[in-house]
Amino acid sequence: MTIDLLNNEILMSFFQINKAYNRLVKSDAERLGITPVQLKALYRINFNPNISLGELAEKLKLTNSTVSGVIDRLVHSGLVERVAAPGDRRSVSIRLTEEGRKRLDQFNSSDSILMKKIKEVLDLPEEEISHLLRLHQLVLDKLTI
């Protein structure tokens, strides 16, 4: 196999997996009446209560200004709230509202296509998953500057 063909197959494999994942996230987000980025933000906030905007941006791999806009829309929708830190009103954290938790519970329900598919992946033998993760880390190490 030539290097060009192999390189193309590797890149296409990552592209196809990313595309399939994004399609599943989009489907679940539409079912919940939010955008895929908003769904990802709710999910991250749920596992990181009282997260700062900067920390959330880092976890989502987005800019602070992009995440600020996402949070503005989630606040407006009543799904998250900004909370000033006691003693430092300049420091603001973000947390889910009760409605935000309900919406996320709908995502985690048996109706979630993404969660069903993730469970199928997790049903792979543990050895295969470990091998996959090891290979992903090797590739990431090679691609990281």
Band (pLDDT 50/70/90 cuts) for residue 8 is: confident
Q: Is residue 114 part of a domain?
A: no
- Average pLDDT score, the chain: 90
How many domains is the chain built from? 1
Q: Is residue 142 part of a domain?
A: no
Q: Give the model confidence (pLDDT) of 13-64 as tens digits.
A: 989 999 999 999 999 999 999 999 999 999 999 999 889 999 999 999 999 9
Strand order across the beta sheet in which 88-96 lies = 51-52, 88-96, 80-85
This prediction has a pTM of 0.83
The parent domain of residue 90 ranges over 3-109
Q: What is the DSSP string of 77-92?
A: TTSEEEEEETTEEEEE
CATH number for the domain harbouring residue 65:
1.10.10.10
**Which tokens is 41 given?**
């933000």
Of 141 and 88, the structure prediction assigns the larger pLDDT to: 141
Q: Is residue 67 part of a domain?
A: yes
Q: Is residue 40 part of a domain?
A: yes
**Which tokens is 55 given?**
């920390």
- The rounded Cα 52 to chain-centroid distance in angstroms is 16
Q: Is residue 35 part of a domain?
A: yes
Q: Is residue 19 part of a domain?
A: yes
Which residues lie below 8 Å from residue 81, measured CB to CB, with a gap of 6+?
Answer: 75, 94, 95, 97
Q: Is residue 72 part of a domain?
A: yes
Q: Is residue 81 part of a domain?
A: yes
Closest CA to 42 of 76, 83, 70, 84: 70
